[in-house]
Amino acid sequence: MADSDPDIERLQAFDDGEWLGVERAYAGRLFAYVARRVPDAQAREDIVQESFLGAVRGIGSFDKGYTFEQYLFGICRNRTIDHLRRRKATTLSASEDDDERSPLESLAEENETPSAIVAGEDVRGQGRTLLVEILRDWVQETWEAKEFTRLMVIEALFAGGWRNRDTWKRFGLRDETAVAGIKFRALKRMRELAARLSGAAAQGAAPDSNAAAGDPESGLLTCLADEAEAGHTGLDVAMIWRRDRVSCPARHWLARHQAGTLSEGPRAFVDFHTGEMACEWCLANQDDLTDAHEDDLEPLLERVRASTAQYLRSKTVPGQ
C-alpha cells in the first residue's frame, strides 16, 4: 500500500534534480515527525538537515527490501533518538527519580530486540525479508477483501500486544474464541504465503544450494506451521510490523482520510491505526498533510539544499 518511490538509481548517481525532488517531497513529513518529539525549533531543523545529509551519504548501500520512505524515516528516527539521549544526559539531575518516564525518555531508552520468528542475523537477511513480504502480502489481501475488522484485530494482536479478552470487546466480536479463530486463520494463510514464496525462491536457487537445512525460510515455515496448528501467536513480530510499516496506508489514503472521502471500512482502519496504534510514521504524514504550507518550509529547505548540494558536488565534480 505504498506510494511510488523516487528513482533509487538516480539518487545513487547523485542526480541533483532527483535529490531536490526528494527534499521537497519529504521535508514536511520529517519535520512533522521530529516536531512531535523535540520541543526546540532549532534542534528540529538540525535533525531534518542531518537526516537528509545522512540519506545522501548512505544511499550507495540502500537496501531495496525497504521503501525509500522507510529508509529516510529510519535515519530521521535515529537522529531524533541521538538528540534525545544527548538532551537527557545534559538535563538529568539527581532529583529526577520519578518512576514515570516521559514519552521522550521512553523513546530515547528504547532497546528493541529482533523478532523471535527468525533468530539473530537472519532478521537482517533473508528471514526478515521473507517475513516482511509475508506480512505485507497478507495485509494487502485483507485490505483488498475489505476485511478491515480482521486487519485491525491482527494489528492489535501482533503490533499492539493486545489480549484476546480486550480485543473481542473492542471490536464487538462474539467472545474470545472469535479472536482466536481470526488469529488461527491469519496464521494459516501466512503459512501458505510463506510456502509459496519459499517455493518460488527454491526454483531460482542454485542446484547445490541447501534450501532446507540452515535456511531462514525453512525455519520460518516451521515456526508458522507450529503456530497455526497451536492456534496462538508466539510470534514476536511487533518490531518488524512497526519498523517495516507492513500495514501503513499509502499517503494518498491518509490524504483522503483528511478530506473525509474514505468509505466506512478504510476510515475505521485509519482511525484505529493512527489513533489507538499511534503509528508514528502515519501521524507525521497526517500532520504534514494538515499543515502543508510549503512557503513555511522554504528556509529549512534552503538549509537542507545547501548541505546536500555541497556533498553532491564532491561526488560528481572532479577535484571537489
- pLDDT top residue among 243 and 171: 171
pTM: 0.73
Q: Is pLDDT of 268 > 90?
A: yes
Q: Is pLDDT of 185 > 60?
A: yes
Query: 64-78, 80-94, 229-243, 279-293: which range is least confident on average?
Result: 229-243
Query: 42-46, 155-159, 177-181, 209-213: which range is least confident on average?
Result: 209-213
Q: What pLDDT digit, counting tens, does each position of 143-171 carry?
A: 999 999 999 999 999 999 899 999 999 99
Domains, the chain, in order of start with CATH, read 1-111+292-320 (1.10.1740.10)
Instruction: Compute and round to an integer the Cα radius of gyration of the chain.
Output: 22
Could you identify the residue written with the cell 542454485?
Answer: 206
Query: 16-20, 197-201, 214-218, 260-264: which range is least confident on average?
Result: 214-218
How confident is the model over 195-208, as a mean pLDDT? 62
How confident is the model over 243-250, as a mean pLDDT? 91
Measured CA distances, 221 to 44, 51, 107, 121, 198 (Å): 43, 37, 33, 17, 9
- pLDDT top residue among 7 and 318: 7
Specify the pLDDT at position 60.
Answer: 94
Q: What pLDDT digit, counting tens, does each position of 8-39 carry?
A: 999 999 999 999 999 999 999 999 999 999 99
Specify the pLDDT at position 207.
Answer: 46
Specify the pLDDT at position 187.
Answer: 87
How confident is the model over 269-287, as a mean pLDDT? 95
Specify the pLDDT at position 190.
Answer: 87
